[in-house]
Structure 1
């Protein structure tokens, strides 16, 4: 039986990505509103309550408001905003986070879609914290760069009209909205030092976690770190652990796809490692993850409609 999906905020960057992945599907169909009724509160409330699933591609306050419009015990939600990523009563929608996470998503009514940066960070760090290789109180740092589409329509317009498109570090106050999400779902006692930047490419993302292996308990080897990640994602069709012997990593490696690639690069002599994730900030970092969660919640193939 076909399930219905209403994309609230479907004209935004993430909403359009979700719609592209659902187009032509026979198992999930999109409920739409005419353009002149997209911001009509009554029309939105009707669509939200008529749908089997709702994806929220909205600013945080608007996402909370949309949830308050649900007047039934049937409609299920995937929220792509930041509003509910650490909220009680919401299941975190990173299916690869833990061995049981996909099962939790499958039965959840309210699922929070992960942020793009946290997706790469958690994929690298969570298995190592879970295994005890990184202590929960370790001072972790993460450096990351994203395509400018991650800033939504305003940043896209600003970047594409600029005469200079420089590398732009931001989040300099160390109060980025993704930091609580990274801390909570990694199992760390403290938020990581998060150093994000925007670069001159439309889509794509590199997330890197440097590790001084010589200072960690037991002084694990580069191979030991890689083995833990390989075991964690051995059955995944979305996350791949690739060899770390590589000269450079391309930020656009997984652009246009819903894949994520992880690498452990390091130097055995110095006891240092660089854990690197590449993903599409609009794919596995946003719209692709939302569709993966919808598939899981609807009891479908988790990768249906994804570009892998």
Structure 2
């Protein structure tokens, strides 16, 4: 069949620590070093537990994995989802688990996995700059996929952070963007980024605002990873907003040539071309990140703008893709970098599945 079989908690061994809970199936052999063969059952199936599958991200992950014939989903009933012993048994039986939980609950979940051979992928912010966890943005550099594949602890990036880092990290690593650049980032996301509570507001019967800025304390929870993985000395000033659409987002970063770029890059001329070329080179071999043609005229010609003028935030919904746009004014010595992605796709559940594939030694595009 095309759908992954679902394994309920009642099928797990209640009295025994054995993982041979499916009759006739071989025991899973623990491995110190993760690799393509170490997490696969003989028949090619892998067992995955989604801790927090009832939440927005958890449901999206489940929907993606439920379509696959190479994955068996371990599920808990409503009562057992809140029971530490039941969750610990699920972790023990799983080859991999995806944590779709608030930060404190995710930290607690890690303790439930102690002693097991389960690969953890954490979608919360709790472990993103923890050096003991691999950061789950495979496109970060040429070594990142290997780090993810070798780790039992993988931190899924934040949605806004994914866009920001995708734009800035290649430029700092290429020596174009100054590490001490004073950057500002603005972004707008669909309301699903606020979880079920915000979805209830925008999808409810009561009147609500069509758009709203937030984050006025300038301490958004994605800022630490945005700074760290971009190689910046200081965190950017980040101005997020939410719009009256369910999914999709755009993240934009303006660049002032003289202020933000290294002097040799500015003096060389053709700065916009150099920025676009550096981004294109960085992502040349990546399947999910695409650098679009340079400038608005090229976008119009390619039909990328709604009504020839607007960059829709929801154009990549239900995909794991991210698009990068560069537009410049050479006379004003400025440019703007924009990333477009699905906040629930490459910004959350899609990235989690991509990281799961890499951790299990599968083609990273499987199911995506």
The TM-score range, normalised by the shorter chain, is over 0.9
Q: Partner residue of 1:230?
A: 280
Q: Partner residue of 2:233?
A: 189
Note the aligned Cα RMSD (angstroms): 1.2
Aligned counterpart in structure 2 of residue 96 of structure 1, from 139, 146, 153: 139
Matched, 1:111 2:173: no
Aligned partners of 1:22 and 1:305 also within 8 Å? yes
Q: Partner residue of 1:253?
A: 315
**2-structure distance, mates of 1:129, 1:63:** 31
1:18-76 residue CA offsets vs partner (Å, 9 max, x unmatched): 11111132222211112332212211111011111010000000000000011324111
**2-structure distance, mates of 1:226, 1:143:** 20
Q: How far 1:253 moved relative to its partner?
A: 1.6
Matched, 1:298 2:349: no
SS of match in other structure, 2:105 = helix
Q: Partner residue of 2:98?
A: 55
**2-structure distance, mates of 1:69, 1:268:** 55
Q: Partner residue of 1:200?
A: 244
SS of match in other structure, 2:139 = coil
Runs of 4+ with >6 A deviation: none
| Structure 2 unmatched ranges of 5 or more | 1-43, 300-308
83-92 vs 285-294, which moves further? 83-92
Aligned partners of 1:114 and 1:286 also within 8 Å? yes
Matched, 1:15 2:58: yes
Q: Partner residue of 2:348?
A: 286
Instruction: For 1:69-148, list aligned pairs within 5 A.
Output: 69-148=112-191
Matched, 1:263 2:313: no
Q: Partner residue of 1:2?
A: 45
| Structure 1 unmatched ranges of 5 or more | none
**2-structure distance, mates of 1:173, 1:164:** 23
SS of match in other structure, 1:35 = coil
**2-structure distance, mates of 1:28, 1:139:** 45
**2-structure distance, mates of 1:286, 1:165:** 25
1:157-201 residue CA offsets vs partner (Å, 9 max, x unmatched): 122224133321111111111101101111111101111001111
Aligned counterpart in structure 1 of residue 212 of structure 2, from 168, 187, 205: 168
**1-structure distance, mates of 2:143, 2:97:** 23
**1-structure distance, mates of 2:178, 2:67:** 46
Aligned partners of 1:49 and 1:71 also within 8 Å? no
Instruction: For 1:4-43, list aligned pairs within 5 A.
Output: 4-43=47-86
Aligned partners of 2:47 and 2:96 also within 8 Å? yes
**2-structure distance, mates of 1:209, 1:24:** 36
**2-structure distance, mates of 1:291, 1:163:** 36
188-197 vs 160-169, which moves further? 160-169
SS of match in other structure, 2:88 = helix
145-154 vs 240-249, which moves further? 240-249
